[in-house]
């Protein structure tokens, strides 16, 4: 039982299979963990199941200096051993203010990379140095069951791996001019979220190459897109068609009006040529009303629900919006 108590009492590194709140978007569940406290028989049955050990979160507090991960490495490898050799893993790795040179940290990352072929869900918020180290330990084409990938890292996310089974992709930063290249790598993707896009300094970078043919992605249904500034002559959605797109969520923070107009124009062109029917459109942030009206002009945007938020509050919600209403 010492291993279980370490999960909850270690004050430096926490390895656990619990969600901190009901609003946590990850799938880490702590209810089964609580059942181990009922009695010794229940505990023995639960701990003997490999599935109990397949959902783990590795985290450090942002306000606590971390300089040794050797205990975390031992606990992680013990968990991996109990999980057996076949079941898929759900991992969350959230480390703040740490360096790769910390004792035991590279071993932790090596252990995670060693089971990359069994990642089903992987959410990561770590310094760029750690992300790139772990990326280098993973062989290309070794992510056969990965369905959910969340990079909360202010660095270009390494995406040159096999992502053909990916269903959900969330990126804080995407180093690429054109999304067509990425979407072609993820044919089963249904939910895509991107907070920022950086144009590579080298125009010849593989992901920056202009798409040579149209990409008709027939699975993507939900797009969460934060507007950002890029050179006006570039349309990141060039050659992309999303005929099954039903939900479009747009965020605008700390961007000038010209950028908002340009990015919305690109999204409108995307929806129009895709001939998709949007069940819901949400605009979040300080977007001028005349820009919103222009977004729906010409009757080319088909949607059954539209809402506009500002500072987290809903200004208005319109069901079955008509262009003439939005143009007033």
Bridge partner residues of 88 (DSSP): none
Residue 155 lies in a domain: no
pLDDT in tens, 24-38: 433 444 555 666 677
Claim to verify: residue 131 and residue 202 sit in the same structural domain: no
In the chain, the N- to C-terminal Cα span, in Å, equals: 67
All residues at 6 or more sequence positions from 140 whose CB lies less than 8 Å from its CB, including other chains: 160, 161, 162
Q: What is the DSSP letter of 90?
A: E
pLDDT in tens, 61-99: 544 555 688 888 888 898 899 899 999 999 989 888 888
The pTM of this model reads 0.73
Claim to verify: residue 77 and residue 135 sit in the same structural domain: yes
Claim to verify: residue 18 and residue 112 sit in the same structural domain: yes
Which residue, 123, 150, 177, sits at the end of a domain?
Answer: 150
Max Cα distance, the chain (Å): 68
Closest by alpha carbon to 167, among 146, 142, 138, 153?
A: 146
Claim to verify: residue 182 and residue 141 sit in the same structural domain: no
Claim to verify: residue 206 and residue 102 sit in the same structural domain: no
Claim to verify: residue 218 and residue 79 sit in the same structural domain: no
Q: What is the pLDDT of residue 168?
A: 93
Bridge partner residues of 121 (DSSP): 90, 148
Estimate the crossing angle of helix 128-137 against helix 105-114, to 10 degrees.
40
Phi, psi of 308 (to 5 degrees): -125, 125
Q: State the residue range of the domain holding 183.
A: 167-328
Claim to verify: residue 201 and residue 60 sit in the same structural domain: no
The count of residues in the chain is 328
Q: How many domains does the chain have?
A: 2
**Three-state DSSP state, 325:** helix
């Amino acid at each position: 039982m010492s291993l279980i108590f370490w999960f909850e009492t270690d004050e430096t590194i926490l390895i656990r299979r619990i969600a901190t709140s009901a609003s946590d978007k990850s799938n880490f569940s702590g209810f089964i963990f609580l059942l181990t406290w009922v009695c010794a028989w229940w505990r023995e049955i639960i701990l003997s199941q490999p599935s109990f050990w397949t959902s783990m979160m590795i985290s450090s507090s942002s306000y606590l200096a971390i300089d040794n991960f050797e205990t975390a490495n031992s606990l992680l490898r013990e968990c991996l051993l109990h999980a057996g050799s076949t079941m898929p893993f759900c991992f969350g790795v959230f480390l703040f203010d740490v360096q790769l040179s910390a004792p035991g940290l590279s071993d932790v990352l090596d252990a995670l990379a060693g089971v990359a072929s069994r990642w089903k869900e992987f959410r990561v918020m770590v310094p760029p140095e750690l992300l790139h180290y772990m990326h280098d330990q993973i062989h290309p084409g070794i992510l056969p069951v990965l369905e959910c990938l969340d990079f909360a890292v202010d660095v270009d996310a390494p995406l040159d791996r096999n992502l053909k089974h990916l269903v959900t992709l969330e990126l804080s930063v995407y180093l690429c001019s054109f999304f067509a290249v990425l979407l072609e790598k993820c044919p089963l993707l249904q939910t895509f979220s991107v907070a920022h896009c950086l144009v590579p300094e080298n125009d010849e970078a593989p992901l920056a190459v202009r798409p040579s043919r149209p990409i008709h992605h027939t699975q993507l249904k939900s797009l969460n897109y934060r507007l950002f500034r890029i050179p006006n002559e570039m349309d990141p959605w060039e050659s992309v068609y999303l005929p099954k797109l039903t939900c479009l969520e747009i965020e605008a923070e700390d961007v000038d009006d010209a950028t908002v107009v340009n990015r919305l124009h690109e999204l409108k062109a995307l929806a129009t040529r895709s001939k998709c029917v949007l069940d819901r459109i949400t605009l979040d942030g300080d977007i001028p009303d005349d820009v919103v009206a222009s977004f729906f002009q010409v009757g080319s945007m088909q949607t059954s629900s539209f809402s506009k938020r500002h500072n987290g509050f809903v200004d208005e919600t319109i069901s079955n919006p008509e262009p003439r209403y939005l143009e007033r």
